[in-house]
């Protein structure tokens, strides 16, 4: 969209080679294509496509730093104004400008609806209300430019909002650029690549600018979490796009290039077998999900964090390698004899002979989630088994600091399954855990940690604490941050 007319004002929009908005001009006379420009804004982006600089019509410069955590207004002037934003668990909750701390109140979409000071009193004229597609219903003088669905707004300047991958016009209810991916080929609403949230803005938000999320089922859908980890969620969509278009090899190449994971075709009981596209999708999703959580812990992207922890990882389909594969000698005897599901030979080798399928009482969505969780469980084994000492296996073993987690039967601490036919959803080992070691317990706890899912009871809270670095023994605080740093 290079020309936009709203409320009688004509705007000319220019894009760079990556289809990112580089300039907005208000046309004061003549046609949009060749008319005279008045007020002009220009934008600069970093390598990830995040806006980092804006030059305003009065030649002042605004900087957006730290993934949106800092804003510097009048950066080139003598008195720049710095605003810092604070988040908890990825949710933007407060801002600080000078000595003033203010708190952001949001609705179910993540839209900022009011701002309070540090005493809890409403900041004057800060209350905002929105029409369904984001136009202001109640005009406010808010101290923050985060507004509808928690995205940065320039509607008071040139009528657009920054949705990370693209810019959005709340007046038109459309993006100004076509989506570079189609998030769901099975949904006809996705085929209009300018449409916003499947044309359902009451229930959905699109914080990445690439894919709508249901806000009634995803508490992170509209907050800064997606801005800070947009590359990880874009990786989800790349895998889904390849899956919908039947490109299995593209999925395999993607996870190998970005996460260092090789999905290798092997042999099963003497016969050549290979990853099918559904299995590759499940494995790819598991790798991305695990990388995302590791990235949260390390403060890096999911791909970088995953490779820092796992290095080069092989995930084999089958219970033996094909002739001549040098990895064959590293496969454990247990995994060579595995009959179903997954098996971990070492910190750098996992194998699968089957994944979960649909059944009379198990819908396809449950089968897919079970398959993803099965892979994450095995990634937990690969992580836990990489420590010769002072690792999670040792901490849960007989005589370990946290042996009580095993002794007290931790089964009640895991998130409940969605149905009896999917009883393995959050515990791959649903029977009593072996008392000889804590290996299976940890692999299932690793699954709970990746997704932040636990039972709402004391056992669940204790297991979450164990994984989330809040238990200290003899001056050492144990948990995933500790172990991933070793």
What average pLDDT does range 406-421 have in this prediction? 81
**Beta strands of 269-354 (E only): which ranges?**
271-272, 313-317, 342-346, 349-352
Q: Tens digit of pLDDT for each residue in 306-322?
A: 999 999 999 999 999 99
Cα pseudo-dihedral 325, 326, 331, 333, rounded to 10: 80
Phi, psi (rounded to 5 degrees) for 6: -135, 130
Q: Name the percent of the chain in helix, strand, coil, to the closest 5.
A: 30, 25, 45
Question: 214 versus 21: which is more confidently predicted?
Answer: 21
What average pLDDT does range 132-149 have in this prediction? 89
Least confident interval from 60-74, 106-120, 282-296: 60-74
* Per-residue pLDDT at 304 exceeds 80: yes
Give the full edge-to-edge strand order of the sheet including 21-29: 3-6, 9-15, 21-29, 36-45, 51-55, 61-65, 70-73, 81-88, 91-97, 100-106, 112-117
Least confident interval from 40-49, 279-288, 386-395: 386-395
Confidence at residue 228, expressed as pLDDT on a 0 to 100 scale? 44
Percent of the chain with pLDDT over 90: 45
Q: Tens digit of pLDDT for each residue in 130-140?
A: 999 999 887 77
Least confident interval from 46-55, 262-271, 465-474: 465-474
pLDDT band per the 50, 70, 90 thresholds, residue 107: confident
pLDDT band per the 50, 70, 90 thresholds, residue 342: very high
Q: Is 373 helix (H, G, I), strand (E, B) or coil?
A: helix
Most confident of 27-41, 124-138, 239-253, 331-345: 27-41
Confidence at residue 234, expressed as pLDDT on a 0 to 100 scale? 64
Contacts of residues 400-403 at CB distance under 8 Å and 24 or more positions apart, as own/partner, are 400/438, 401/473, 401/478, 402/438, 402/466, 402/471, 402/478, 403/438
In the beta sheet, which residues pair with residue 461?
Answer: none
Question: 397 versus 40: which is more confidently predicted?
Answer: 40
Domain ranges of the chain: 3-205, 231-484
**Beta strands of 160-211 (E only): which ranges?**
160-163, 166-169, 174-175, 204-205
Confidence at residue 184, expressed as pLDDT on a 0 to 100 scale? 67
Q: Tens digit of pLDDT for each residue in 9-28?
A: 999 999 999 899 999 999 99
Q: How far apart are CA 427 and CA 126, in angstroms?
A: 47
Q: Tens digit of pLDDT for each residue in 343-397?
A: 999 999 999 999 998 776 778 888 899 999 999 999 999 998 888 776 788 877 7
What average pLDDT does range 265-276 have in this prediction? 93
Confidence at residue 225, expressed as pLDDT on a 0 to 100 scale? 42
Cα pseudo-dihedral 87, 92, 94, 99, rounded to 10: 70
* Per-residue pLDDT at 220 exceeds 60: no
Farthest CA pair distance, the chain:
82
Of 255, 282, 280, 276, give the one whose Cα is nearest residue 368. 282
What average pLDDT does range 433-437 have in this prediction? 70
Query: Which residues, at least 6 apart from 161, have a Cβ–Cβ distance to it below 8 Å?
Result: 134, 147, 148, 151, 152, 153, 154, 155, 167, 168, 169, 170
What average pLDDT does range 328-342 have in this prediction? 87
pLDDT band per the 50, 70, 90 thresholds, residue 229: very low
pLDDT band per the 50, 70, 90 thresholds, residue 230: very low
- Architecture label for domain 231-484: 3-Layer(aba) Sandwich (3.40)
- Cβ atoms of 379 and 346 within 8 Å: the answer is no
* Per-residue pLDDT at 191 exceeds 80: yes
């Amino acid at each position: 969209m290079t020309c936009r007319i709203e409320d009688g004002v004509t705007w000319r929009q220019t894009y760079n080679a990556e289809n990112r908005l580089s300039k907005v001009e208000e046309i004061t006379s003549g046609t949009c294509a060749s008319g005279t420009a008045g007020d002009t804004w220009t934008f600069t982006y970093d390598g990830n496509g995040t806006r980092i600089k804006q030059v305003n019509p009065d030649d002042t410069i605004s900087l957006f730093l730290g993934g949106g955590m800092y804003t510097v207004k009048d950066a080139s002037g003598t008195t720049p104004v710095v605003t810092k934003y604070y988040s908890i668990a990825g949710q933007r909750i407060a801002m600080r400008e000078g000595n003033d701390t203010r708190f952001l109140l949001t609705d179910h979409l993540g839209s900022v609806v009011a701002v309070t000071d540090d005493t809890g009193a409403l900041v004057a004229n800060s209350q905002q209300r929105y029409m369904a597609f984001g136009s202001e219903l109640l005009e406010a003088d808010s101290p923050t430019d985060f507004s509808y669905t928690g995205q940065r707004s320039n509607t008071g300047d040139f009528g657009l909002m920054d949705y990370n991958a693209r810019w959005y016009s709340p007046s038109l209810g459309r993006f100004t650029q076509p989506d570079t991916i189609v998030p769901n080929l099975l949904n006809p609403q996705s085929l209009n690549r300018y449409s916003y949230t499947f044309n359902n803005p009451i229930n959905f938000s699109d914080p990445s600018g690439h894919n709508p999320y249901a806000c009634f089922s995803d508490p992170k859908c509209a907050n800064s979490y997606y801005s800070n980890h947009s590359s990880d969620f874009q990786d989800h969509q790349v895998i889904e796009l390849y899956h919908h278009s039947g490109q299995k090899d593209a999925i395999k190449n993607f996870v190998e290039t970005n996460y260092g994971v090789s999905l290798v075709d092997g042999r099963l009981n003497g016969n050549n077998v290979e990853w099918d596209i559904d299995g590759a999708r499940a494995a790819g999703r598991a790798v991305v999900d695990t990388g995302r959580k590791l990235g949260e812990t390390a403060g890096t992207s999911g791909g970088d964090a995953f490779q820092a922890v796992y290095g080069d990882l092989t995930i084999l389909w089958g219970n033996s390698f094909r002739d001549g594969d040098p990895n064959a000698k590293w496969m454990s005897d247990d995994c060579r004899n595995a009959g179903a599901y997954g098996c971990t030979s070492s910190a750098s080798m996992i194998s699968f002979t089957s994944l979960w399928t649909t059944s009379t009482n198990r819908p396809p969505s449950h089968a897919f989630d079970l398959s993803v969780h099965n892979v994450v469980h095995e990634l937990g084994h690969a992580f836990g088994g990489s420590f010769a000492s002072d690792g999670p296996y040792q901490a849960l073993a007989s005589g370990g600091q946290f042996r009580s987690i095993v002794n007290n039967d931790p089964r009640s601490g895991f998130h409940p399954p969605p149905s009896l036919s999917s009883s393995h959803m959050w515990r791959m080992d649903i029977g009593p855990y072996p008392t000889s070691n804590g290996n299976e317990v940890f692999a299932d706890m690793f699954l709970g940690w990746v997704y932040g899912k636990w039972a709402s009871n004391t056992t669940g809270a204790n297991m979450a604490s164990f994984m989330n670095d809040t238990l200290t023994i003899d001056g050492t605080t144990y948990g995933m941050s500790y172990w991933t740093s070793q």
